[in-house]
């Protein structure tokens, strides 16, 4: 009997049952794919770090070094297991031609040329094998392979006025240190002999002083020991934790988003399910009464209904999982390319299946909860009344009799939504979700591409930024530029900032490195999330993550080591910073030129910015000069492109879901309201008026949902983004909203989609006739 | 008196599983303004189908229906709706009130939809009709809170709110007890007196005997008609009319 009832039910509610199936399937698909991505990511990353024998600590250094001193220090340090000094030649983009007659002069990447390392930090090919090259061969970072669409055999030329070197691309580099596109240097590998040629003719040398430790737990300790030593420190340091974070950031975020979408789809599936279960019970009300009356156990009645949802949930989840096997390659493409694949254990390979089944379990549990309402049905009442008695208490409050203003068909639509709101809940939630899914990435994208983003990068806001590379005569050049700017009448104001490595005394009493930007912070003010700029020489501002790590608030004090003497600094402000791992500080003190890492000059001009940028570029070559807009496009270009893609995908998914649910809902609703519609037609209410009534219902719900969805995106959504970004140092993101897009364009798109869908879905009103109803 | 409604060889055929069912066969019927007509006949004879087809609710298969000089077959769906809304009133056996609206809202909805500008006038008219039909106290009630007879009177009020030229009733007393049925018939007589044409479909001899013309339908044809004087419920002997009509019906094979 159960089989017969089920068969009838499937046939009768084909569309909405298919929709529930579809949503569960998609949800399971994304859940399995997302889980798989996370497994793949962590698994492959471990494998890559192992195969490449990743360094635990690297000090970049520009300038001369004493190799013996480093070797001796390492030998005496019990924490060090292996030590290695690598050389890196930085060659200007303007001198490099990658399979093209155009040079790479516009690149934001630092192009570093290296030879294969000897004992660890190996540069690997796409099969995770150590790259070995002969003279004239080169291995190019994956970043360029993708960007320039390169394949083995393509040419790379390095030339200046004196010399031209031509290389054949033999391989592509998988590099644990510089793989991710968010890292702004890339290592190219050449043979040993070519390296020597490059060293003698091109660019500047930078050293990578790398260490592997006996015990990775001692990393912080080692960091402190190194920075207290006299070893070379002119340049940034990185450690394995930062490498792991950077390597997993992009794909980790994508996996998180995929899982989030899966959860949202599951929510929609549950709402659909609730809608059909309630409708089914309402339709079968009398039958349920009869079954109860003849003595069938309630648990058996429940079984009839539940078995249907168990079948749907399990088949949909399994199909979702099977489909995920097909699409896994697409989702993990980036991971496979940049990080490579690794063998999987049995547990790892069934984890995705388990996650998909989890979706089925949630659905079944939810059905059980809704089916509890079967218990409330009284046999006698069900048989006598034949339908649930609607106890609507507030009907008279929305009486047509009292309405003098709103057109009747519109009034009836609004009224119905108000008094039967529970019925419309699913539509309402889906519309809110869709709005959220559209608006959130839109706002985020708009924020990240706005100049406001400067404040989240801990940078001052100016028209032009100059970025000087570390070199032997950097101080003279820096002075030279400052003097030039002083005499340039087009300059409104300018100021220079030097970031050096300083030491602070941390909470445990140990010395710890911090990147401290020095300069006058009143010239170009930055945004502080608490407090204000440091003005006196005993004042300091900390980045959010530094303040977190040191447990400091505005007004607290911090010991800073200046010229080997400790100075008590007062924390005057906390700002957001997502650069350099987010741990920086600012103070108006004398810079330490010995440990200076970056020299920046910020300029505001009263002339065309682009013109000034090219003017300065001609005068100060080898200085990187950006106008602020370009700077963002170049720094966040790939992220913005990815976000834009995500936004379009989100818009399309949201619209598809909206259209599908609207159509399903309205079709089901008018089937339910069939007799009422026929009555209206019989007394002469035109189809047009009835359609307007149903369209009004959809649009009233949609518009309310758009308002609520937008508010949620701007509040909760902003909080979610801030929470996610607090990990990298920007805990207080304020959305920069483009009102045209967010408040006009996207609602208009939704309204159009819903209106068209609604009109198409309620077409069958035409067929309803009173003669059919009265004949029933 | 003028003809308000005429049919000319009206046919209605249904196609079920590739078999044709001829429900109405060349019906020729003339209804004069102010007439009170009943259509009788056994189940399946085509009474209700006739009513749905002459009111434009159902599409005829062949023939023509003329209402007030206009051909129904030439009218669009919207024009037919407008015709029903403004010039016709309907009362059904199943009552067919809208279950999400209260009593008064069910009555005024047609007038509001007809686009009458003066809503106060509509409200006054609704309250007057309710007073006349004896349900004025129920204005604020929900339709689940009143009896079947009261509901049917509300349905009549709805049918009359736009002052229709003709009132159609499809077994309007079929679901009511005899006293409720009597009340409803009184309302019909009153409005007929005021000039509204009434056309009822009924099984009930007692109801039909209160009309001035009775049509007898069988297998989709009008088999015959019986003419009586206009009924005056205050003076006429209904029993006597009933027995005359019964005799005729027996002759017709009812």
Distance to chain A for B117, nearest Cα, Å: 10
Which chain A residue has its CA at the smallest distance from B79's CA? Answer: A686
Distance CA B40, CA A507 (A): 101
| Contacts with B86 from chain A: Cβ below 8 Å | 684
Q: What is the DSSP letter of A608?
A: -
Residue of B21, B96, B201 to mutate when probing chain A, most A C-beta within 10 A: B96
| Contacts with A766 from chain B: Cβ below 8 Å | 77
Distance CA B73, CA A190 (A): 88
Which chain B residue has its CA at the smallest distance from A404's CA? Answer: B119
Residue of B54, B105, B129 to mutate when probing chain A, most A C-beta within 10 A: B105
Q: Give the model's pLDDT for residue A233.
A: 82
Are B213 and B196 in contact, with CB atoms under 8 Å apart? Answer: no
* Cα dihedral A41, A42, A47, A48 sign: positive
Residue A231 CA to its chain's centroid (Å): 39
Nearest Cα neighbor of A558 from A517, A526, A512, A592 is A512
Distance CA A612, CA A632 (A): 18
Is the ipTM above a cut-off of 0.90?
no
* Cα dihedral B47, B49, B55, B60 sign: negative
Chain A: which residues have CB within 8 Å of chain B?
Answer: 389-390, 392, 395-396, 399-401, 404, 408-409, 412, 415-416, 419-420, 675-676, 679-689, 766, 769-771, 773-774
Nearest Cα neighbor of A262 from A352, A333, A364 is A352
Residue A621 CA to its chain's centroid (Å): 36
| Contacts with B90 from chain A: Cβ below 8 Å | 682-683
The predicted-structure confidence for B196-222, as pLDDT tens digits, reads as follows: 999 999 999 999 999 999 999 999 999
Bridge partners of residue A496, in order along the sequence: A601
Are A466 and A601 in contact, with CB atoms under 8 Å apart? Answer: yes
Smallest Cβ–Cβ distance between A401 and the set B94, B123, B170 belongs to B123
| Contacts with B142 from chain A: Cβ below 8 Å | 392, 395-396
Smallest Cβ–Cβ distance between B109 and the set A396, A408, A766 belongs to A408
Q: Answer whether B83 sits within 8 Å of A684, measured CB to CB.
A: yes
Distance CA A159, CA A156 (A): 10
Are A264 and A355 in contact, with CB atoms under 8 Å apart? Answer: no
| Contacts with B93 from chain A: Cβ below 8 Å | 774
Which chain B residue has its CA at the smallest distance from A681's CA? Answer: B81
The predicted-structure confidence for A471-528, as pLDDT tens digits, reads as follows: 777 888 888 898 999 899 999 999 999 988 888 888 777 777 788 999 998 888 888 8
Confirm whether pTM is higher than 0.80. Answer: no
Q: Give the model's pLDDT for residue A702.
A: 95
Alpha-helical runs (H) found in A597-686: 609-619, 628-672, 674-682
Q: Answer whether A681 sits within 8 Å of B81, measured CB to CB.
A: yes
Q: Answer whether B102 sits within 8 Å of A395, measured CB to CB.
A: yes
Residue of B67, B78, B93, B101 to mutate when probing chain A, most A C-beta within 10 A: B101
| Contacts with A689 from chain B: Cβ below 8 Å | 113
Q: Answer whether B78 sits within 8 Å of A676, measured CB to CB.
A: no
The predicted-structure confidence for B30-74, as pLDDT tens digits, reads as follows: 999 999 999 999 988 999 999 999 998 888 999 999 998 899 999
Q: Answer whether A774 sits within 8 Å of B104, measured CB to CB.
A: no
Q: Answer whether B102 sits within 8 Å of A766, measured CB to CB.
A: no
Q: Is B61 on the interface with A (CB under 8 A)?
A: no
Over range B222-230, report the average pLDDT: 93
Q: What is the DSSP letter of A231?
A: S
Are B166 and B89 in contact, with CB atoms under 8 Å apart? Answer: yes
Low-confidence ranges of chain A (pLDDT < 50): 389, 391-392, 776
- Buried/exposed code over A641-677 (b: 16+ C-beta within 10 A; e: otherwise): ebbeebbeebbebbbebbbbbbbbbbbbbbeebbbbb
Are B108 and B126 in contact, with CB atoms under 8 Å apart? Answer: yes
Q: Answer whether A687 sits within 8 Å of B77, measured CB to CB.
A: yes
Q: Answer whether B100 sits within 8 Å of A401, measured CB to CB.
A: no
Mean pLDDT of chain B: 90
Distance to chain B for A422, nearest Cα, Å: 15
Q: Report CA-CA distances (Å) from A406 to A418, A419, A682, B119.
A: 15, 17, 23, 12
Q: How many residue pairs from chains A and B have C-beta atoms closer than 8 A?
A: 107
Fold of B3-252: Rossmann fold (3.40.50)
Distance CA B143, CA B146 (A): 6
Are A60 and A207 in contact, with CB atoms under 8 Å apart? Answer: yes
Q: Report CA-CA distances (Å) from A461 to A9, A96, A396, A465, B104.
A: 64, 31, 60, 9, 67
- Phi first, then psi: give them for residue A501, nearest 5 degrees: -90, 120
Q: Answer whether B110 sits within 8 Å of A687, measured CB to CB.
A: no
> Residue A744 contacts by C-beta under 8 Å, 6 or more apart in sequence?
none
Q: Answer whether B81 sits within 8 Å of A771, measured CB to CB.
A: no
| Contacts with B97 from chain A: Cβ below 8 Å | 679
**Encoding tokens for residue A171?**
């391989």
What kind and span of H or E run contains A48? helix A14-51
Residue with tokens 């140990």: A510
Q: Give the model's pLDDT for residue A385.
A: 54
| Contacts with B75 from chain A: Cβ below 8 Å | none
| Contacts with B96 from chain A: Cβ below 8 Å | 675, 679, 682, 770, 773-774
Distance to chain A for B187, nearest Cα, Å: 19
Distance CA A601, CA A199 (A): 30
Over range B17-40, report the average pLDDT: 93
| Contacts with A685 from chain B: Cβ below 8 Å | 81, 85, 109-110, 113
- Buried/exposed code over A374-404 (b: 16+ C-beta within 10 A; e: otherwise): beebeeeebbeeeeeeeeeeebeebbbbebe
Q: Answer whether A684 sits within 8 Å of B81, measured CB to CB.
A: yes
Q: Is B118 on the interface with A (CB under 8 A)?
A: no
More confident residue, A506 or B102: B102
Query: CB under 8 Å, gap of 24 or more: what pairs does A634-639 form?
Result: A634/A108, A635/A108, A635/A184, A636/A448, A636/A449, A636/A453, A638/A181, A638/A182, A639/A182, A639/A448
Return the CA Rg of chain A: 33
Which chain B residue has its CA at the smallest distance from A417's CA? Answer: B100
């Amino acid at each position: 009997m159960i089989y017969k009832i089920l068969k009838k039910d499937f046939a009768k509610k084909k569309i909405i049952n298919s929709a529930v199936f579809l949503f569960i399937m998609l949800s399971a698909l994304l859940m399995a794919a997302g889980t798989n991505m996370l497994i793949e990511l962590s698994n492959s990353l471990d494998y890559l770090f192992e195969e490449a024998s990743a360094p635990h600590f690297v000090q970049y250094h520009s300038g001369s070094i004493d190799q013996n001193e480093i070797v001796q220090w390492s030998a005496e340090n019990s924490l060090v297991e292996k030590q290695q000094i690598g050389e890196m030649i930085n060659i200007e983009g303007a001198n490099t031609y990658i399979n093209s007659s155009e040079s790479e002069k516009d690149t934001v990447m630092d192009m570093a040329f290296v030879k294969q390392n000897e004992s660890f930090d190996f540069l690997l090919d796409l099969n995770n094998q150590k790259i070995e090259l002969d003279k004239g061969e080169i291995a190019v970072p994956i970043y360029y392979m993708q960007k320039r669409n390169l394949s083995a055999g393509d040419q790379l030329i390095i030339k200046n006025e004196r010399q031209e070197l031509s290389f054949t691309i033999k391989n592509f580099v998988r590099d644990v240190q510089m793989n991710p596109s968010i890292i702004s240097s890339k290592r190219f590998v050449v043979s040993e002999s070519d390296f020597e040629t490059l060293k003698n003719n091109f660019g500047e040398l930078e050293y990578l002083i790398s260490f592997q430790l006996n015990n990775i737990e001692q990393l912080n300790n080692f960091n402190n020991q190194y920075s207290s030593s006299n070893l070379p420190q002119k340049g940034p340091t990185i450690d394995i934790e930062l490498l792991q974070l950077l390597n997993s950031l992009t794909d980790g975020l994508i996996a998180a988003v995929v899982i989030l979408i899966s959860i949202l789809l599951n929510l929609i599936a549950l709402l659909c399910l609730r809608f059909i279960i309630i409708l089914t019970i309402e339709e079968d009300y009398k039958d349920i009464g009869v079954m109860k009356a003849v003595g069938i156990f309630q648990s058996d009645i429940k079984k009839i209904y539940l078995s249907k949802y168990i079948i749907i949930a399990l088949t949909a989840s399994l199909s979702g999982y099977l489909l995920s096997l097909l699409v896994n390659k697409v989702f993990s493409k980036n991971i496979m390319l940049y990080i490579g694949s690794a063998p999987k254990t049995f547990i790892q390979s069934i984890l995705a299946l388990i996650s998909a089944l989890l979706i089925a379990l949630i659905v079944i549990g939810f059905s059980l909860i809704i089916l509890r309402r079967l218990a409330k049905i009284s046999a006698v009442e069900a048989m006598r009344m034949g339908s649930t008695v609607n106890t609507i208490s507030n009907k008279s409050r929305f009486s047509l009799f009292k309405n003098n203003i709103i057109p009747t068909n519109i009034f009836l639509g609004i009224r119905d939504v108000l008094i039967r709101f529970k019925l419309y809940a699913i539509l309402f939630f889906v519309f809110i979700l869709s709005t959220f899914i559209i608006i959130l990435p839109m706002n985020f994208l708009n924020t990240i591409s706005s100049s406001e983003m400067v404040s989240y990068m801990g940078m001052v806001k100016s028209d032009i930024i100059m970025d000087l590379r570390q070199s032997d005569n950097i101080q003279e050049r820096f002075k030279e530029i400052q003097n030039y700017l002083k005499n340039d009448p087009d300059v409104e104001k300018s100021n220079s900032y030097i970031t050096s490595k300083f030491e602070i005394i941390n909470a445990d009493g140990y010395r710890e490195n911090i990147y401290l930007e020095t300069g006058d912070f009143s010239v170009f003010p930055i945004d502080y999330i608490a407090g204000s700029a440091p003005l006196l020489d005993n004042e300091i501002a900390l980045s959010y993550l530094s303040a977190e790590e040191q447990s400091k608030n505005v007004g607290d004090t911090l010991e800073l080591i200046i010229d080997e003497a400790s100075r008590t600094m007062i924390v005057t402000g906390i700002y957001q910073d997502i650069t350099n791992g987010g741990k920086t500080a600012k103070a108006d003190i004398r810079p330490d030129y010995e440990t200076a890492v970056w020299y920046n000059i910020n300029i505001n001009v009263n002339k065309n910015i682009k013109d000034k940028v090219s003017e300065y570029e001609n005068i100060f070559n080898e200085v990187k000069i950006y106008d602020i807009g370009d700077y963002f496009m170049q720094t966040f270009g790939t992220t913005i492109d990815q976000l834009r893609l995500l936004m379009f995908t989100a818009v399309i998914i949201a619209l598809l879901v909206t259209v599908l649910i609207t159509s399903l809902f309205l079709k089901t609703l008018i089937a339910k309201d069939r007799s009422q519609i026929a009555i209206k037609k019989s007394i002469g209410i035109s189809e047009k008026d009835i359609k307007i009534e149903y369209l009004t219902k959809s649009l009233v719900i949609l518009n309310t949902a758009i308002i609520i969805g937008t508010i949620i995106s701007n509040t909760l959504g902003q909080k979610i983004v801030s929470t996610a970004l607090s990990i990298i140092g920007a805990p207080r993101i304020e959305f920069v909203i483009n009102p045209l897009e967010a408040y006009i364009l996207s609602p208009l798109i939704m309204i159009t989609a819903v209106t068209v869908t609604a009109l198409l879905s309620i077409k069958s009103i035409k067929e309803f006739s009173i003669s059919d109803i009265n004949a029933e | 008196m003028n003809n308000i409604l005429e049919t000319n060889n009206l046919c209605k055929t249904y196609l079920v599983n590739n078999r044709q069912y001829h429900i109405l066969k060349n019906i020729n019927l003339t209804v004069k303004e102010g007439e009170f007509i009943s259509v009788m006949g056994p189940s399946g004879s085509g009474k209700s189908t006739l009513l749905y087809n002459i009111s434009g609710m159902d599409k005829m298969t062949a023939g023509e229906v003329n209402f007030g000089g206009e051909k129904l077959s030439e009218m669009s769906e919207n024009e037919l709706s407008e015709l029903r809304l403004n010039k016709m009133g309907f009362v059904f056996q199943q009552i067919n009130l809208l279950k999400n609206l209260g009593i008064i809202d069910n009555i005024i909805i047609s007038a509001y939809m007809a686009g009458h500008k003066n809503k106060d006038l509509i409200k006054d008219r609704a309250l007057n009709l309710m007073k006349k039909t004896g349900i004025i106290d129920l204005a604020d009630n929900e339709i689940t809170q009143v009896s079947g007879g009261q509901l049917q009177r509300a349905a009549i009020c709805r049918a009359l709110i736009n002052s229709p030229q003709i009132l159609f009733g499809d077994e309007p007393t079929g679901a009511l007890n005899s006293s409720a049925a009597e009340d409803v018939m009184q309302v019909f007589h009153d409005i007929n007196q005021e000039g509204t044409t009434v056309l009822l479909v009924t099984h009930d001899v007692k109801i039909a005997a209160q009309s001035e013309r009775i049509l007898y339908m069988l297998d989709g044809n009008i088999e015959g008609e019986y003419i009586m004087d206009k009924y005056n419920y205050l003076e006429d002997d209904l029993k006597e009319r009933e027995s005359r009509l019964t005799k005729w019906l027996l002759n017709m094979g009812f």
